[in-house]
């Protein structure tokens, strides 16, 4: 089955700095890679996703890159703000719905004002 490794487990940055979270996956058939943000006391919520037919996707201060050859993908947050503080999860899955995504163990991002 799929195995997703996520690093680092904790990331502390100053407000305004950039933050990068990296994930690797094992199943070459995976082609859907979402990122979820979990705020304290809440359930995870999708913030951005990428499919294997693209190498990069941006949404304002957030971007995700994908390297299918190396089987890794990354989340980039620029100009971090205190409200970016949360736990971030990466995941990998095959398309079609019936394939259950495999999640990384999460990264706790702390943005210091």
Partner 1 sequence: NAGVTQTPKFQVLKTGQSMTLQCAQDMNHEYMSWYRQDPGMGLRLIHYSVGAGITDQGEVPNGYNVSRSTTEDFPLRLLSAAPSQTSVYFCATWTGFTDTQYFGPGTRLTVL
**How many whole angstroms separate alpha carbon 109 and alpha carbon 11?**
5
Q: Which of residues 4-23 bind partner 1 (CB under 8 A)?
A: 6, 9
CB 32 within 8 A of CB 23: no
Is 42 an interacting residue with respect to partner 1 (CB under 8 A)? Answer: yes
Pick the binder of partner 1 from 44, 64, 66, 77 (CB under 8 A). 44
Complex with partner 1: residue 25 or 89, whichever CB lies closer? 89
The dihedral formed by the CA atoms of 49, 54, 56 and 59, expressed in degrees to the nearest 10: -50
Q: Which residues contact 87 (CB under 8 A, 6 or more apart)?
A: 37, 38, 44, 106, 107, 108, 109
Residues touching partner 1, count (CB under 8 A): 25
Binds partner 1 (CB under 8 A): choice among 43, 53, 70, 83: 43
Contact 29, 51 (CB under 8 A): no
Q: Which of residues 90-109 bind partner 1 (CB under 8 A)?
A: 91, 93, 95-98, 100-101, 103-106
The residues of the shown chain that bind partner 1, judged by CB under 8 A, are 6, 9, 32, 34, 36, 41-46, 49, 89, 91, 93, 95-98, 100-101, 103-106
């Amino acid at each position: 089955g799929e195995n997703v490794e996520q690093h680092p487990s904790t990331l502390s940055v100053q407000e305004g700095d950039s933050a990068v979270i990296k994930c690797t996956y094992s199943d070459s058939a995976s082609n859907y890679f979402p990122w979820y943000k979990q705020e304290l006391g809440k359930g995870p919520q999708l913030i951005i996703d990428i499919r294997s037919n693209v190498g990069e996707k941006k949404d304002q201060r957030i971007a995700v890159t994908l390297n299918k050859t190396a089987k890794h993908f990354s989340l980039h947050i620029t100009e971090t703000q205190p409200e970016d503080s949360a736990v971030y999860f990466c995941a990998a899955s095959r398309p079609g719905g019936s394939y259950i995504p495999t999640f990384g163990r999460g990264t706790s991002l702390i943005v210091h004002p």
